[in-house]
Amino acid sequence: MLAQRRPHRLCFEAQPDGLIRVQLDTALVRVFLVEDSPLIRRRIIDNLLSIGGFVVVGFAESEDDAVAAIAQTKPDVIVTDIRLREGNGIEVVRQVRQAPVASPPKIYVLSNYASAEYRRECELVGADAFFDKSGEYDRFLDALQHVAH
């Protein structure tokens, strides 16, 4: 199930000539990044901006900071690495999935540690998908694009 997107809004504005201009305010998919590498974070943000339809609502470099900020920002999508400055992304996924929320976020794990064991553990704790940073980055972007459009 895809994360629920915020509904579109119509904005009406009266014009001097008596006509009314209608503008569709497209809802953006809210993304939270859990990544301790500034270089990788920047790459993901640049790609999200390129795809369009996303807004990054925050990032964290550690497990505790991520869990607290995710609860506060309520993103539609979470992208997490496994190895973090403190803690790990598997625990981030587990804690987010255990928290009661009306609309659970889509959670993608993006890591260089793409062993079968890590993939299985991420699946068991509730990750929606697992992508290898070096070999599956394009598939990761395709999955994000599917969420936004």
pLDDT tens digit string along 88-130? 999 999 999 999 888 899 999 999 999 999 999 999 999 999 9
Q: Which domains does the chain have, with CATH numbers?
A: 28-148 (3.40.50.2300)
Q: Which two tokens stand for residue 80?
A: 């997490």
State the pTM of this model. 0.82
pLDDT tens digit string along 128-149? 999 999 999 999 999 999 988 7
> Does the pLDDT of residue 73 top 50, yes or no?
yes
Residues 93, 74: Cα–Cα separation, whole Å: 14
